[in-house]
Structure 1
Amino acid sequence: MRNLPDTAKINKHNHLEIGGVDSVDLAKEFGTPLYVMDEATIRNRCRQYIDSFRKYYPNTDIAYACKALCTAGILKVVDSEGMCFDVSSGGEVYTALKSGCDPKKFYFHGNNKTIAELKMALEVGVGRIMVDTTQEIINLDEITKELGQGVEVMLRINPGIEAHTHKYIKTGLIDSKFGVPQNEIDEAVKMIQKHKYIKLVGFHAHIGSQIFDTKSFVDEVKLLLELTMKYQTHEINIGGGPGVAYLDSDNPPGIDAYAEQVAKVLKGKTEAKLVLEPGRSIVANAGVTLYSVGAIKDIPKIRKYILVDGGLADNPRPILYQAIYDAKLANKASAVPVEKVTIAGRSCESGDILIKDIKLPKTEINDILAVLCTGAYNYSMASNYNRVGRPAMVLVRCGQASLIVEREDYEDLIRKDIIL
Structure 2
Amino acid sequence: MDLNLKVNQKGHMDIGGADTVELAEEYGTPLYVIDEDRIRDNYKRVYNAFTKYYSDFKILYACKANTNLSVMRILEEEGSCVDAVSPGEVYTSLKTGFSPDRILFTGNNVTNEELKYVDGTGVRINLDSISQLKRLSKVVDPEGYKISFRVNPMVGAGHHEHCITGGEMSKFGIKESEAVEVYQMAKDMGFNPIGMHTHIGSGILDPEPFKLATTVLMDIAGKVAQGADIDFEFLDLGGGLGIPYEPEENLLDIDPFAEEITGIFKSKLSEYGMDGAKKPYMYIEPGRYLVGDAAILLSRVNTIKESYRKFIGVDSGFNTLLRPAMYGSYHHIVVANKAKDAKEINENTPGVEKIDVAGNVCESGDLFARDRILPKVEEGDLLAIMNAGAYSFSMASQYNSRPRPAEVLVSDGKSEIIRERETYEDLYNNQIVPKRLEK
* TM-score range normalised by the length of the shorter chain: over 0.9
Other-structure match for 2:182: 188
Q: Which deviates more, 259-268 or 36-45?
A: 259-268
Separation in 2 of the partners of 1:411 and 1:257? 51
Other-structure match for 1:295: 303
When residues 24 and 150 of structure 1 are mapped into structure 2, their CA distance, relative to the original with a 3 A threshold, is farther
* Cα distance per residue 1:307-345 (max 9 Å; x no partner): 000011011111110001111111111156511111100
Alignment of 1:255-294 (within 5 A): 255-268=254-267, 269=270, 270=275, 271-294=279-302
Does residue 319 of the first structure (1) align with residue 333 of the second (2)? no
* Cα distance per residue 1:245-299 (max 9 Å; x no partner): 1123212422212211111102242332100000000001001000010101013
Other-structure match for 1:334: 340
Given that residues 13 and 337 in structure 2 are in contact (C-alpha distance below 8 angstroms), is that contact kept between their aligned partners in structure 1?
Answer: yes
Q: How high is the TM-score relative to the length of structure 1?
A: 0.95
Q: 1:139 aligns with which of 135, 141, 144?
A: 135
**Residue 178 of structure 1: SS of its match in structure 2?**
coil
Does residue 165 of the first structure (1) align with residue 172 of the second (2)? no
Given that residues 126 and 148 in structure 2 are in contact (C-alpha distance below 8 angstroms), is that contact kept between their aligned partners in structure 1?
Answer: yes
Separation in 2 of the partners of 1:277 and 1:251? 20
TM-superposed deviation, 1:158: 0.9
Other-structure match for 2:437: none
Identity %: 40
Unpaired runs of at least 5, structure 2:
226-230, 346-351, 435-439
Q: 1:220 aligns with which of 195, 213, 216?
A: 213
Separation in 1 of the partners of 2:393 and 2:126? 25
Separation in 2 of the partners of 1:260 and 1:248? 27
Other-structure match for 2:69: 72
* Cα distance per residue 1:64-116 (max 9 Å; x no partner): 00000011111000000010000111111111111111121001012112222
TM-superposed deviation, 1:229: 2.2
Given that residues 50 and 258 in structure 2 are in contact (C-alpha distance below 8 angstroms), is that contact kept between their aligned partners in structure 1?
Answer: yes
Given that residues 309 and 346 in structure 1 are in contact (C-alpha distance below 8 angstroms), is that contact kept between their aligned partners in structure 2?
Answer: yes
TM-superposed deviation, 1:18: 0.8
Separation in 2 of the partners of 1:83 and 1:151? 24
TM-superposed deviation, 1:3: 3.3
TM-superposed deviation, 1:21: 0.7
Q: How high is the TM-score relative to the length of structure 2?
A: 0.91
Q: 2:15 aligns with which of 13, 18, 27?
A: 18
TM-superposed deviation, 1:222: 1.3
Does residue 398 of the first structure (1) align with residue 392 of the second (2)? no
Given that residues 203 and 227 in structure 1 are in contact (C-alpha distance below 8 angstroms), is that contact kept between their aligned partners in structure 2?
Answer: no
TM-superposed deviation, 1:227: 2.5
After superposing on structure 2, the runs of 4+ consecutive aligned residues of structure 1 that deviate more than 6 Å are none
Given that residues 241 and 276 in structure 1 are in contact (C-alpha distance below 8 angstroms), is that contact kept between their aligned partners in structure 2?
Answer: no
**Residue 349 of structure 1: SS of its match in structure 2?**
coil
Given that residues 335 and 361 in structure 1 are in contact (C-alpha distance below 8 angstroms), is that contact kept between their aligned partners in structure 2?
Answer: no
* Cα distance per residue 1:15-41 (max 9 Å; x no partner): 111111111111111111100110011
**Residue 200 of structure 1: SS of its match in structure 2?**
strand
Given that residues 199 and 240 in structure 2 are in contact (C-alpha distance below 8 angstroms), is that contact kept between their aligned partners in structure 1?
Answer: no
Q: How many residues align?
A: 411
Separation in 1 of the partners of 2:82 and 2:149? 17
Separation in 2 of the partners of 1:357 and 1:154? 47
Separation in 1 of the partners of 2:74 and 2:402? 29
Does residue 2 of the first structure (1) align with residue 16 of the second (2)? no
Separation in 2 of the partners of 1:117 and 1:402? 35
Separation in 1 of the partners of 2:117 and 2:143? 12
TM-superposed deviation, 1:367: 0.8
Q: 1:57 aligns with which of 54, 57, 75?
A: 54
Other-structure match for 1:175: 169
**Residue 289 of structure 1: SS of its match in structure 2?**
strand
Given that residues 327 and 371 in structure 1 are in contact (C-alpha distance below 8 angstroms), is that contact kept between their aligned partners in structure 2?
Answer: yes
Separation in 1 of the partners of 2:136 and 2:378? 59
Q: Which amino acid aligns with 1:264?
A: G
Other-structure match for 1:206: 199
Q: Which deviates more, 344-353 or 327-336?
A: 327-336
Separation in 2 of the partners of 1:74 and 1:16? 22
Given that residues 158 and 240 in structure 2 are in contact (C-alpha distance below 8 angstroms), is that contact kept between their aligned partners in structure 1?
Answer: no
**Residue 267 of structure 1: SS of its match in structure 2?**
helix
Q: Which amino acid aligns with 1:142?
A: K
**Residue 242 of structure 2: SS of its match in structure 1?**
coil
TM-superposed deviation, 1:164: 5.0
**Residue 64 of structure 1: SS of its match in structure 2?**
strand
Given that residues 59 and 284 in structure 2 are in contact (C-alpha distance below 8 angstroms), is that contact kept between their aligned partners in structure 1?
Answer: yes
Alignment of 1:92-103 (within 5 A): 92-103=89-100
Separation in 1 of the partners of 2:414 and 2:220? 49
Cα RMSD for the two superposed structures: 1.5
**Residue 56 of structure 1: SS of its match in structure 2?**
coil
Q: Which amino acid aligns with 1:356?
A: R
**Residue 404 of structure 1: SS of its match in structure 2?**
strand
* Cα distance per residue 1:95-146 (max 9 Å; x no partner): 11111111210010121122222212221111x211100011011111112x
Given that residues 296 and 306 in structure 1 are in contact (C-alpha distance below 8 angstroms), is that contact kept between their aligned partners in structure 2?
Answer: yes
TM-superposed deviation, 1:404: 1.0
Does residue 118 of the first structure (1) align with residue 132 of the second (2)? no
Q: Which amino acid aligns with 2:197?
A: H
Separation in 2 of the partners of 1:117 and 1:386? 31
